[in-house]
Structure 1
Amino acid sequence: MAYDFTGKTAAVTGTSGIGLDAALHLARQGARVFLAGIDADLNEAARKAAGDLAVSVHQVDVSDDGSVKAWFDAIAAVTPTLDILVNAAAIQTYGTIETTTPADWDRSIAVNLRSCYLTAHHGYRLMKAAGSGAIVHVSSVQGHANQDGVLAYATTKGAIHALTRAMAVDCARDGIRVNSISPGSIRTPLLEFSARSLASDGQSEEEMIAAFGRAHPIGRVGKVSETSALIAYLCSDAAGFTTGADFLIDGGLSARIGV
């Protein structure tokens, strides 16, 4: 379903995977999008993918307070208001409580969780000035239940659910709705990294991704176009009575008992 975001402005983090596709999807439906990413090569690829769409790509470290503040200062120089914020930037780390290093723990918290706080904190003045708006945090099914060896990642994703609820309660007074989505396996560069990291016994990346798909009752991994459709809905007026909720988009993964 298409929504009309003409005249709306959006800030999106993550210049690949879910973030990039969400930015392009919103722009195709009329939004002016400010897209943030840290990797220069991915940022340039995002610029090329955007083509003539109203998407500007910014070099931002979403875990750094000064970098995020500078991004929103740059946005404020262009527009006095912001209608949509989508937090999709993330990293994947592996390890148990025994093997996760303090550096990996801190980096996961910074990129996956602190970024959601920083963008909302610095962007809030622009959303408040708009008088309404929608924030969507991209969490994960692993915020609900998780595989082995993903201590730091799962912790950040579960914390996003609590952040979403707390923000929804606080932000409602300013007409700003806050929700999260929890994807299962979605075909992104991050999933491909996971496939390479977890493959064993000579498995190829594609064979591992197919195995991920078979774990979902629907029988496949998801597409970024599917997450973008859900994000667009949550940012639209059609979801005007929806806030403080998490939306699973996991192909039935969390509904299955693994015994």
Structure 2
Amino acid sequence: MNDFDGKVALVTGTTGIGEATARRLAEGGAAIIALGIDAGANAMLQAELNRAGAAALVQATDVSVPDQVEKAIAAGVQEFGGLDVIVNSAAVHPYGTATTTDFETWNRAMSVNVGSIYLTARFGIPEMIKRGGGAIVNVASVQGTACQENVAAYATTKGAIHTLTRSLALDYARQGIRVNSVSPGSVRTPILERAARADDPNADIEAAFRRFGEAHPLGRIGEPEEVAELIAFLCSSKASFCTGSDYRIDGGLLAGIGVR
């Protein structure tokens, strides 16, 4: 695969979908700038990309903090010469209703899940314009369309991502920048593992994943690599007429809401 030869890609989040996307874009020839807050995950991803012979700079970054995002993007651009692709995958997933979610938790969800997309756009888009355009993909969720109970902050942020995606797409289309989002259903990630252990810290994770998968018409949960492949398509020249849209990758989950 050489669909990203000569491209520089910024990916936020170094576990789950972010990790899989960084690997997929690197396999396609992209130089990777990866930002994550988990030191262990950062080190593992850096080592994995190094072993694969990829050009990569994995940086410890809280993507909700403007100065950290600005410095990380500047370091990546200095290292690799520019920026062509942004994939926003970093997220937190708090549980709670409007009356049980404290203000700090609410603000943290907003600043990580939505604010980080604003920050990578603010500091990354000027670099993309210098290269003549590029592509941005934001990882949203089916919960931005049809949410569950007890996830008020998370679902709100994912709905906001859909709206911010459309806004960015309209604002920067004339600069050659395409912006789309993807909305996964249940996917094998650390966030889903935490969901499986929400009521029982000793829960059988694979049994829980099978149970979650039963809600999807395809009968299973998704894999991070499957989402990464869709993201790679939307970042590539093959999706050159795609912008301002959300693409579900949910095993048919929302196709049957209210029917099954």
Same fold (TM over 0.5): yes
State the shift of 1:199 in Å. 4.9
CA shift, 1:155, in A, is 0.3
Residue in 2 aligned with 1:121?
122
* 1:91 maps to amino acid: V
Partners of 1:28 and 1:140 in 2: how far apart?
25
1:53 is paired with a residue whose SS is: coil
SS at match of 2:181: strand
Aligned to 1:65: 66
Q: 1:59 to 1:240 in 2, by over 3 A?
A: same
Distance 2:96 2:76 in 1: 37
CA distance in 1, matches of 2:153, 2:114: 11
Q: Structure 2 unaligned runs (5+)?
A: none
Secondary structure of 1:106's match? helix
Distance (Å, rounded) in 1 between the aligned partners of 2:143 and 2:247: 13
Structure 2 residue aligned with 1:131:
132
1:234 aligned partner: 234
SS of match in other structure, 1:57 = strand
Q: Is the 8 A contact 1:3 1:233 kept in 2?
A: no
Residues 69-121 of structure 1: CA distance to partner in whole angstroms, max 9, x if unpaired? Answer: 11111122224421100000001100011111111100100111100000111
Give the letter for the 1:6 counterpart: D
Q: Which residue of 1 aligns with 2:245?
A: 245
Contact 1:109 1:152 in 2 (8 A): yes
Q: How well do the aligned residues superpose, as a CA RMSD in angstroms?
A: 1.4
**How big is each residue's C-alpha offset from its partner over 1:196-250, in whole Å with a ceiling of 9 and x where there is no partner?**
11459x8522222111100001000001111011001001111000000000000
Equivalences for residues 46-195 of structure 1 within 5 A: 46-50=45-49, 51=51, 52-195=53-196
1:209 aligns with 2:217: no
Misfit runs of 4+, over 4 Å: none
Partner-residue secondary structure (3-state), 2:135: strand
Answer with 47-56 or 158-167: which moved more.
Answer: 47-56
Classify the secondary structure of the residue corresponding to 2:198: helix
Alignment check: 8 A CA contact 2:95 2:151 kept: yes
Check 1:160–1:107 CA distance in 2 against 1; reply closer, same or farther (3 A cut).
same
d(CA) in 2 for partners of 1:18 and 1:225? 7
- Cα offset, 1:190, TM superposition: 1.2
Instruction: Give the distance between the partners of 2:81 and 2:4, measured in 1 at CA.
Output: 17
Describe the SS at the equivalent of 1:35: strand
CA distance in 2, matches of 1:230, 1:188: 16
Distance 1:198 1:176, change over 3 A: farther
Report the identity percentage.
49
TM-score in terms of structure 1 length: 0.96
- Tell whether the 8 Å contact from 2:57 to 2:76 is kept in structure 1 after alignment: no
For the structure 1 residues 173 and 225, does the alpha-carbon distance in structure 2 shift closer, same or farther, using more than 3 Å as the test? same
- Residue 31 of structure 2 contacts residue 80 of structure 2 at CA under 8 Å; is this kept in 1? no
Q: Post-superposition shift, 1:41? A: 1.2
Report SS of the residue matched to 2:72.
helix
**TM-score, normalising length from structure 2?**
0.95
Q: Give, as a single letter, the amino acid of the residue that structure 2 aligns with 1:106.
A: N
Q: Which residue pairs with 1:35 in the alignment? A: 34
